[in-house]
Amino acid sequence: MNFVSLIHLPLRNKNFKLLTLVLFIGVFSATTYWIGFFQNNKNGIHPHKSTKWESVNFILDHLLNSYVDSIDAKNLKQKTIQNILKELDPHSSYIPADKRISANESLVGHFGGVGIRFMILRDTLTVVGVIQGGPSAKNDIKKRDRIIEISGENVASIGLTNEDVLKKLKGKIGTKVDLKILNKDQKIVEKTIIRDQIKLKSIVSNAIISPGVGYIKITTFSNSTDKELQVALKSLQNKGMKKLILDLRFNGGGYLHQAINVADEFLKKDQMIVYTEGAHSPRLSQYATNAGLFKEGALAILVNSTTASASEIVSGAIQDHKRGIIVGRRTFGKGLVQSPLMLSDSSEIRITTSRYYTPLGRCIQKPYGDTINYEEDLINRIANGELSNKDSLTKDLAKGGIWPDAFSPIDTSNYLSPFYNVIYSQAWRDFCFDFYESNPETKYKELGEFNTSFHLNKQDLNAFLSKEGIDESVKIEDYDMFNKSLKLELSSYYFTENERYIISAFDDNDVQLAVKLLNN
């Protein structure tokens, strides 16, 4: 009796029905298994004992050739690598080939471009700054120019984004890009720009902000940071600097060797800067040399919750040797060192190969693991009062990071204003640039005079708020917030980006505390 005739017999009792069902499932399962088996063998898929990763290779090949839906091999590879690295630690990472160059720009310290700063003003690409000596400056492109076409493609009133602009203007050094521009005189001109190397400065500001007190802000540790620091130190020393504030807030790190070189500017010969060690990386200690332009003189370092990695190496070394005072709030807590490796397809993996330790042996890596939400650490710091209340500080080294010697609470006064979100709106930014276009020249020649003497006209502010449909009454503290914001924007238009940071430093609570501590 064959299977087909069996299932057509009269089903006289429940046992017979059950037997029939079991036989059917068994035959069906066996049939589908062998179909799959022979299909896989037909496609040449079978396990082999070539490497210790045989099961992984087999599974990936099996998925590509047998999965019910089509799978993109490139996407599968990327996600597999990303998920493997994600399970190891928070900082090992994979960078696809098409994102590797842009991801490394801030570290390399340059890129191929045209040399402008821009904003999208009411859906129009607008030049707000031209880099001195760059390709655009050589072609007489000016602030307030509107770029309406890039290489023959219309870019006006099409919903352009900042990312779109970068993709169109960046490119290989030596290549050309054609621009059609509506200038400030409402004339259309055409320019052909040859892309060139555009340097990314890691030191965005340096100035004397109080008699004898210098200020330097480092935003990242790139290939050029040590050289930029030497230039800034010499400039400030020539202006009479005796004490220094080094601002490492919002600095997420960078190259390890650059952190060592920066710390070397301040520490004495043979003082340890940092040591690294890992399971496959023997202990390696780094020491200061005779070189350095600020071995003496009072030093304060500003830090906050985003000060990380290379910034923490510098801060930790200065603190352990009591070379200076750390001012601000507990740093991020990244004590893992990544080593980059470029793969054959030009993608890159950054693998954690060691931990770094301060001279006194502190590993400042904050806790991570399956039971810890690493991404919510900053939110937790805000919630438990660590950023705003000195009494909330525990200085528990197990939490990771560098604890400040002098705590400076985060300024939350603006957060309470009903206009806080307005300050960071596109409408307000447009207002600031409109003000500049209506007043393209300033009567103030010195930044200090501009900072103390410039004031926003209250009628202009009220007109802006009315236009935006905001009928909140403006208190004195609200006006001061708008006035400061406008000065920050205008300082970068009237002067340079450097002055923008200096203006900010004048009213910065952390900076002012550092000045007070240095002078005392």
**Number of C-alpha atoms within 13 angstroms, CB side, residue 350?**
16
Residue that has been written with the tokens 């599974």 in this structure: 59
- Exactly one of 196, 320, 377, 510 is catalytic; name it: 320
Q: Which two tokens stand for residue 418?
A: 């009903």
- Exactly one of 334, 366, 484, 487 is catalytic; name it: 334
Q: Which two tokens stand for residue 168?
A: 């169109």
Q: Which of 332, 272, 267, 325 is nearest to 298 (CA)?
A: 325
From residue 281, give the alpha-carbon distance in Å to each of 182, 329, 356: 58, 32, 11
Residue that has been written with the tokens 């590993």 in this structure: 363
CA 504, 510, 515, 516 dihedral sign is positive
Residue that has been written with the tokens 């019910």 in this structure: 68
Helix axes 476-494 and 497-506, enclosed angle (nearest 10): 150
User: Please, are residues 252 and 338 in contact by the beta-carbon 8 Å criterion?
Assistant: no
- Determine whether 514 is exposed, middle or buried from the number of CB atoms within 10 Å of its CB (0-12, 13-18, 19+): buried
334 is catalytic: yes
295 is catalytic: no
- Does residue 1 sit in helix, strand or coil? coil
- Does residue 468 sit in helix, strand or coil? coil
Going by the DSSP 8-state scheme, the letter that residue 404 receives in this structure is P
User: Please, are residues 457 and 463 in contact by the beta-carbon 8 Å criterion?
Assistant: no
320 is catalytic: yes
- Exactly one of 309, 417, 491, 492 is catalytic; name it: 309
From residue 500, give the alpha-carbon distance in Å to each of 233, 425, 489, 515: 20, 19, 7, 19
Q: Which of 366, 352, 369 is nearest to 403 (CA)?
A: 366
Distance CA 241, CA 207 (A): 9
User: Hey, which residues are catalytic here?
Assistant: 309, 320, 334
